[in-house]
Amino acid sequence: MKQISAQNLDFKELNEQVKAATEDVCVDHCYGQRFMGSAMKGKTLVINGTPGNALGAYLDGGIIEVKGNAQDAVGDTMNDGRIIVHGNTGDALGYAMRGGNIFIRGNSGYRTGIHMKEYKTKKPAIVIGGKTGSFLGEYLAGGVIVVLGIDVEDIPVGNFTGTGMHGGKIFIRTNKELSGLPAQVVLELASADDLKEIEPYIAEFSKHFGVDAGSYLKDRFYVLKPNAKNPYKQLYTHN
C-alpha cells in the first residue's frame, strides 16, 4: 500500500498523487482536503484524518475508509463501491447516489440521502449508526436508508423526513413514536420481510465497526415508504 502524507499538500496536489497511484493508498494527516477519491475505482483508499467536502464524489468502485470524521457531500453522485466512515459526517451525505453503499459509525447532518435513486441492479444503501439531521431522504427515488439510532435517547431523525419521497425505503430504529411526517410518506412498523431486506446491510455495518448490530434487528424499526396516492399532490395543491 502506498503511503502519502497530506501535510502541507493542497487538495490538487494530494488528489493527483492518489490518482496516480497504481496500488492501494493510505493518506495520513488529512486535514480538510476536498474531492478525495473522486471517480475512483479498482483500489482502496484509507484516510487518517478529516477529508474535506465531496469525499468519493462520483465514486465508481473500490473502497474508501476514513479513520475519523468527514465533511459535507460524502459520496455525491457515487455510482459504485463502498465508503466507510468511523466518525461523523456533515450535510448532504450520499446526495444523488445511484449505486454502492455508505456506512457511517456516528451521525450525519442535514439532507442525508436526498435524490437517491436506483436502476435495475443498482440499488444504493446508506446505514447511519447514530442520528441524522432534518430532510432525511428528501425526494428519495430509490435505494435504502437505515438509521440505527445507537446510543440516541431521542428520535434519531430530524424534521421533514421523506419530504417529496417517491421511491425507496427509510428504516428508523427507535422506541419513540414518529409523528409530523409529510404527506408523501406512509409510516409502518417494519415487518419480518422488511427487516430481512436490511439484514445484509446490518451485517456489513457490524463487520466494519466491530459492533453486534445484528442484535438490533430484534428491536422496533419503522419503515417509511412512498405514499402511492400521488406523493407530490400535497406540495402543489390545496386539495
Residue 9 has pLDDT above 50, yes or no: yes
Number of domains in the chain: 1
> What's the domain range around 205?
88-236
Quote the mean pLDDT of the chain. 93
Mean pLDDT of 8-29: 96
Residue 50 within a domain: no
Mean pLDDT of 8-16: 95
Residue 121 within a domain: yes
Residue 62 within a domain: no
pTM to 2 decimal places: 0.94
Cβ within 8 Å of residue 212, ≥6 positions away: 206
Residue 28 within a domain: no
Residue 104 within a domain: yes
Which band of pLDDT confidence, cut at 50, 70 and 90, is reported for residue 233?
A: low
Residue 231 has pLDDT above 90, yes or no: no
**91-138 confidence digits (pLDDT tens):** 999 999 999 999 999 999 999 999 999 988 999 999 999 999 999 999
Residue 70 has pLDDT above 70, yes or no: yes
Residue 150 within a domain: yes
Residue 65 within a domain: no
The pLDDT, as a whole number, for residue 235 is: 55
- Phi then psi for residue 84, to 5 deg, are -125, 125
The pLDDT, as a whole number, for residue 171 is: 98
Domain with 218 in it: what CATH number?
Answer: 2.160.20.60
The pLDDT, as a whole number, for residue 234 is: 53
Residue 225 within a domain: yes
Residue 239 has pLDDT above 50, yes or no: no
Which band of pLDDT confidence, cut at 50, 70 and 90, is reported for residue 228?
A: confident
The pLDDT, as a whole number, for residue 214 is: 82
Give the rounded distance of the alpha carbon of 210 from its chain centre: 18
Contact 85, 42 (CB under 8 A): no
The 141-147 sheet, strands edge to edge: 2-5, 25-31, 44-50, 60-67, 80-85, 101-104, 125-128, 141-147, 167-173, 221-226, 185-189
Instruction: Report d(CA 84, CA 104) in Å as an integer.
Output: 6
The share of the chain scoring above pLDDT 90, in percent, equals: 88
**176-201 confidence digits (pLDDT tens):** 999 888 888 999 999 999 999 999 99
